[in-house]
Chains A and B, each alone.
Chain A
Amino acid sequence: MSGPTFLDQDAAADPAAVLADVRAMIADVIGEEYVSEADITVDTAFYADLEIESIEFIALGEALQARYGEHIDFPAWIATMEVDDIIAMRVGQLVDHIVASLGGPRG
């Protein structure tokens, strides 16, 4: 995959919109009975706060790939991390990665 260029301006992302996307996907994967979208912030830790299960994290990855796969290779990104990094990951880190991969914040 080639890096972002000036021609990628259309793909530049609004961090608030990406966060809203990610919150909806997390609530969908884990189930609204366990987590409400309103409770998910950039500081929410996937494991410590959401108690996300390994199989749910994979499902989230699939949902993200379906949404942003044109711009981001999530399995490759996850493969660069140690298990401890994945366990400690916060929602904000994921949002930052998506925003950066889409060509940086808009504006």
Chain B
Amino acid sequence: MAELVVRDLRFNVVQMGPGDQPPADDPYAGHRLPVVFLHGLIMDNLSSFFYTIAPAVARTTDVVLYDLRGHGRTERPLDGYRIQDGVDDLVGVLDAVGIEGPVHLVANSFGGTIAIDAALRIPDRVAGMVLIEAHPAFEGWGDEMIEDLQDLVEGFDGPGIRDYLASGAPRSLKTMVRTCEELVTVSSLGDDLRRSRPTRPEDLATIDCPSILLYGESSDILDRAFVLEDSIPGTVLEVVDGCSHALLMENPHEVERLTVEWLDRQEARRAEERWRSEAARRGRVAAG
């Protein structure tokens, strides 16, 4: 079932995969690495991947989706929202579902903030990254995020909005507003984001797993994409026409295509490495 206790917190976790029936035409069946999805901040939860690209990935390999702490159907504690907490939560979830080896991370926006920190702090657990509209935690990032979030919450005090929320508003809107207010004004999220250790572009040069960057052409953080492209060794930037920071929602089919193709390329490369090491082993046996 979907509830796992990790670091004393109840996490909503959804696992999908081909089970014992991988597609007959998948050349990498049985060898594929698991894929873990990391969603964005505040108004997001695992459903944004569940209803878009996760099912396509799950046709061939095991996938794990979970609601980040404070989000969706995971518990909302008052603290523990630093980026490194997000990485510790990720490790806890992986341990709880019994995944000990490396995984591919597919991350959106703030999920990318966590993914990048994970690639730096726990490189043995991260085999590769698909970073969709990732928000790297460069210097000043925490202040920028929390200012935007405070503006959002102050907007709820606009004329007539409280009355509407108290009466006719859809339940989903009420839930969204409550989530926002609890995270932004009650929990330590703001302070925690500010207190998180910033990522320096020179740190990114030490990332040695493969990655791909997916951004919308009119994204307001496209400048970060260019810094990531220049800083992360071997990464590739794909800019999708006609999309903003909401790329995953605006063109899920293109994000799915790029993600599935990239994952296939990683598996092809890993298959090649397995073949080479097996050939080398046989060579040694024959020579010995």
Q: What 1/0 flags go to A67-103 for Cβ under 8 Å of B?
A: 0000000010001000100000000000000000000
A5 adjacent to chain B (CB < 8 Å): no
In chain A, what residue has the closest Cβ to B48? A54
- Contact assessment for B51 and A54 in the assembled complex, using a CB-CB cutoff below 8 Å: yes
**Would A79 and B47 be within 8 Å (CB), given that A51-B170, A51-B171, A53-B175 are in contact?**
no
Q: Which residues of B contact A59 (CB under 8 A)?
A: 2, 12, 73
Which residues 44-61 in A have Cβ within 8 Å of B in the complex? 51, 53-59
- Top 9 nearest A-B pairs (CB, nearest first) are A54-B47, A51-B171, A62-B2, A55-B47, A53-B172, A55-B72, A55-B45, A51-B170, A58-B50
- Contact assessment for B171 and A75 in the assembled complex, using a CB-CB cutoff below 8 Å: no
B92 adjacent to chain A (CB < 8 Å): no
- Contact assessment for A55 and B2 in the assembled complex, using a CB-CB cutoff below 8 Å: no
A66 adjacent to chain B (CB < 8 Å): yes
- Contact assessment for A58 and B14 in the assembled complex, using a CB-CB cutoff below 8 Å: yes
Count of chain A residues with a beta carbon within 8 Å of a chain B beta carbon: 14
- Contact assessment for B171 and A62 in the assembled complex, using a CB-CB cutoff below 8 Å: no
Residues of A contacting B: mostly: helix
In the complex, which range does the number of interface residues on chain B fall in? Answer: 10 to 19
Q: What 1/0 flags go to B222-242 for Cβ under 8 Å of A?
A: 000000000000000000000
**Would A75 and B16 be within 8 Å (CB), given that A55-B46, A55-B47 are in contact?**
yes
Distance of A53 Cα from B170 Cα, bound (Å): 10
A-side residues, CB < 8 A to B, are: 34, 51, 53-59, 62, 66, 75, 79, 83
Contact of A58 among B46, B58, B170, B172 (CB under 8 A): B46
**Would A34 and B47 be within 8 Å (CB), given that A55-B67, A75-B16 are in contact?**
no
In chain B, what residue has the closest Cβ to A76? B55
Q: What 1/0 flags go to B8-44 for Cβ under 8 Å of A?
A: 0000101010000000000000000000000000000
**Would A53 and B14 be within 8 Å (CB), given that A59-B2, A62-B1, A79-B55 are in contact?**
no
Q: Which residues of B contact A51 (CB under 8 A)?
A: 170-172
Contact of B171 among A34, A66, A79 (CB under 8 A): A34
Q: List 21 A-B contacts (CB under 8 A).
A: A34-B171, A53-B175, A54-B45, A54-B47, A54-B50, A55-B45, A55-B47, A56-B73, A57-B47, A58-B14, A58-B47, A58-B50, A59-B2, A59-B12, A59-B73, A62-B1, A62-B2, A62-B14, A75-B16, A75-B55, A75-B58
